[in-house]
Structure 1
Amino acid sequence: MEQPVDFESLGANSFDVKKLFQDQGWLGYFDILNGPVYTQLVKDFWKRCDIITQEEADKEYNNKVAEDPENNR
């Protein structure tokens, strides 16, 4: 699986930045960021998502605002 930040690949391409982050104490953050991904959960989530156009989103937004214009601006 591809990692969001791949220090080995960056270093192999002469862009070794791992020490910069290590010196600042940020490697723990990247351990979390590069941590486990629950692939089944992600698949189940995306199966239930609807892809809509910007036009559809704008229409839905305008309808919601029109329902209660005082509280929805």
Structure 2
Amino acid sequence: MATSSSIPESSNMQEVVPTYEIKERTMSLEEWDLKIQTENPVDFTSLAFHGCDIRRFYEAQGLMDYFNMLNRPTYQTLVRHFWVRASVYNKESVKLEETEKILINPTLEGKSREEMGLEPFVCTEIRSSIMGIPVHI
């Protein structure tokens, strides 16, 4: 026995919604325009206040100069060098890198990243270099 209803049949069809897209933003700034607000990387006073007085261990080993250096402009300069030269390495960067390799050597078409001599892409990274040393976070 067939029944009729005024309710239309529901469909399992879902609306196609465009995926979330991250748009690139490029900033151009001079190195010394970047203002860095730093705290003490290791705040011995705060640690002692909270019951963890470790200053004496570092003083006994003669390492306090290292921690003092971190609070000087050396640390700020390293941070400034990193962020001014930073770039995002993502899927688009990977495709561009592969395309450039193929343009230089067309025989690489269809090969894996390893066969092209490129590092495997694992995840999105922020890449920079400090004093010629590559740094990825």
TM-score (norm: length of structure 2): 0.36
Instruction: Give 1:50's aligned residue.
Output: 87
**Higher alpha-carbon Rg:** 2
CA 45–26 in structure 1, closer or farther in 2 if over 3 Å, else same: closer
More helix by share: 1
User: What is the percent sequence identity of the aligned residues?
Assistant: 33
Q: CA RMSD in A?
A: 3.4
| Structure 2 segments unaligned to the other structure (5+ residues) | 1-37, 99-112, 120-137
SS in 1 for 2:87: coil
More strand by share: 2
Instruction: Give 1:24's aligned residue.
Output: 61
> Structure 2 CA distance, aligned partners of 1:16 and 1:30?
15
TM-score (norm: length of structure 1): 0.60
Residue 35 of structure 1, aligned match among 64, 67, 72 = 72
Residue 15 of structure 1, aligned match among 52, 55, 61 = 52
In the comparison of the two structures, how many residue pairs are matched? 65
